[in-house]
Structure 1
Amino acid sequence: MEQDLNHPGGLLLPKGHASLARGVNRTVPGSVHALALGGGYTVGPREGRTVYFGRNRPLVHVCIGEDDQQVSRRHGLLTHHRGQWWLRNSGRRPIRLPRSQWLFAEEGAIPLAPGYTPLHVPGTRDREHLLEIYVTGPDGDQPRSRHGDDTDAPQPYSLTADEQLMLVVLGQYYLLREPNPKPLTWKEAARQLEELRPEDGWTAKKLERRVSVVRERLSRRGVANLTREEVGEPVGNALNDNLLRELVRSTALTPKDLDLLD
């Protein structure tokens, strides 16, 4: 059964609208803006208000992946509840969020923070369909331009020389710019460390313990998804993958560190 898609105060965003990554014009605090390739929609906050997105244009506010049958007719929805916008997946395929997080249909809704959030809906073969979301903050304004301000320098995490070496070995494919990098196995990394530093007595167990210390230290500093409780079972490579991506993002590890492997 088709639901009424008309919301008082809602506005269509035309095809070709400027990216929401640049911010939005001053608007009602707590408004949500959603934009895809073919246009978008914006509406103010109200308890229970819902914005639908998916492939079937007559059934959604924002049409995404119109020609791609891997995208569900109603792939997801944004709902305003208790002063916040929540994202839920109602489609057959997961939605990719920032930091390579995935939202599946069987999961509950997740809250959206004020500001810009890009979502990616996987399609046929290697296609991905971008849905831009922008939630205005309490003042209803876009971020102030800072053209002339000094650039904030990255704050890399402090690593000992041994920690840096073992993490470069473990995460060398991340520094080699591989398209889908994965950490070496404990045995592979320990074997290479043994070749580089035979006097240090590296083993797979020793390496696992030392990397665990680094993960715990960063987790205490507020880095997310570095513990089994956060990631859930099966863990697989997820903990080391999240650790290495954070170290590269923060510039604690850079491609120049590959010189340690020579």
Structure 2
Amino acid sequence: MVFNGFTRTTPPGTILVVADERQYQKKPSANHEVLFGRGQDDVHVAVGIDDPYVSRKQGMLLCDGSGWRLRNIGKLPIRLVDESMVLAGHELALRTGCTPLLVGAPAHRVHLVEVYVAGFPKPGAEIGPDSPTRSPDEYELSEIERMAVVAIAQRYLRQDPAAQPMSWAQAADDLSRAPGAGRRWTARSVEHVVAAVRQRLATGRSPIPGILRGEMPEPVGNTLNHNLITALLRSATLTPDDLAVLGEDDEF
């Protein structure tokens, strides 16, 4: 079975870098470097060769013999798909699997660099195109918790541009107007329910980081709820179908 250039016998820690239909693969070895950037004669994987916003040497992948880490040696930040950034001169430890990297100036062009690090093969049946689709591990929410979280997450579920959590007051008003609401919601009651969800999911199975005060620098603003909503969307705990609790469907 081949997966992104790897086979089941690929040594763990092997790295594969893919960008602009170019790729480079290297087994783990101490003090080895893999370079990517615009200067195609000076790097192992060229990316954005006609884009002046990409540095000639934008990133370096360093191996200590087993694990790999990314170092940004360019000018602009290297962005990750979760919106975090590796700033110039900073590093990020890479885990096994795929780490997509975005390089370039967002207002101009953005280039994708896919970094794959091979892990140990898992026992059991191989996965193929006809294998059943698996769902990620979902977080458990009670009916009341789901209603409150959907109300603050509705902009994300509609995929509104630059979505932010709904205010407590607006969420309460929307819930109170929803068909079969069954109770009168207030801004305080929505806040209490969502705060309880954050507290439980920050310390339970597969804890969600960045959803409690004290974990994030002040002022936190909407950050705690944003992080909660993002985690629930990634795990498919929330889906557009949940908009039905507000009397909406998922067709927009």
User: What is the TM-score when the length of structure 1 is the normalising length?
Assistant: 0.77
Q: What letter is aligned with 2:245?
A: L
SS of the residue corresponding to residue 138 of structure 2 reads coil
Q: Is the 8 A contact 1:69 1:124 kept in 2?
A: no
Deviation of 1:248 (Å): 2.4
2:70 is aligned with 1:87: yes
Gap regions ≥5 residues in structure 2: 248-252
Tell me how far apart the structure 1 counterparts of residues 198 and 5 of structure 2 sit (CA, whole Å).
Answer: 34
Task: Please state how far the C-alpha of 1:188 moved relative to its aligned partner.
Answer: 3.0
Does the 8 Å contact 1:193/1:202 carry over to 2? no
Structure (1/2) with the larger helix percentage: 1
1:75: how far off? 1.6
2:169·2:186 contact (CA, 8 Å) conserved in 1? no
Alignment of 1:254 with 2:236, yes or no, is: no
Find the aligned partners of 2:136 and 2:31 in 1 and give their Cα distance: 40
Task: Establish whether residue 125 from structure 1 lines up as the match of residue 119 from structure 2.
Answer: no
Does 2:20 align with 1:31?
no
Cα deviations across residues 108-163 of structure 1 (Å, max 9, x unaligned)? Answer: x2221122222112435252201011112246xxx943344443344432222222
Q: 1:188 aligned to 2:170?
A: yes
Partner Cα separation in structure 1 for residue 68 and residue 10 of structure 2: 16
2:221 to 199, 218, 236: 236
> What is the rounded CA distance, in whole Å, between the counterparts of 1:258 and 1:233 in structure 2?
31
Once the 2 structures are TM-superposed, how far is the Cα of residue 171 of structure 1 from its aligned partner?
A: 0.8
Query: TM-score, structure 2 length as denominator?
Result: 0.80
Percent identity between the aligned chains?
A: 37
Matched, 1:159 2:141: yes
What's the secondary structure of 1:66's corresponding residue? coil
Q: Could you tell me which amino acid in structure 1 is paired with residue 170 of structure 2?
A: E
**Which of the residues 163, 169, 172 maps onto 2:151?**
169
| One-letter amino acid of the structure 2 residue matched with residue 78 of structure 1 | L
Q: Deviations over 1:179-212 (max 9, x none)?
A: 4322113343244345556953512x44333212
Instruction: Answer yes or no: is 1:219 the counterpart of 2:216.
Output: no
In structure 1, the residue matched to 2:250 is none
The residue type equivalent to 2:39 in the other structure is N
2:58 maps to which residue? 75
Alignment-mate amino acid for residue 73 of structure 2: S
Asked if the contact 1:115/1:134 (under 8 Å) is kept, the reply is yes
- SS of residue matched to 1:200: coil
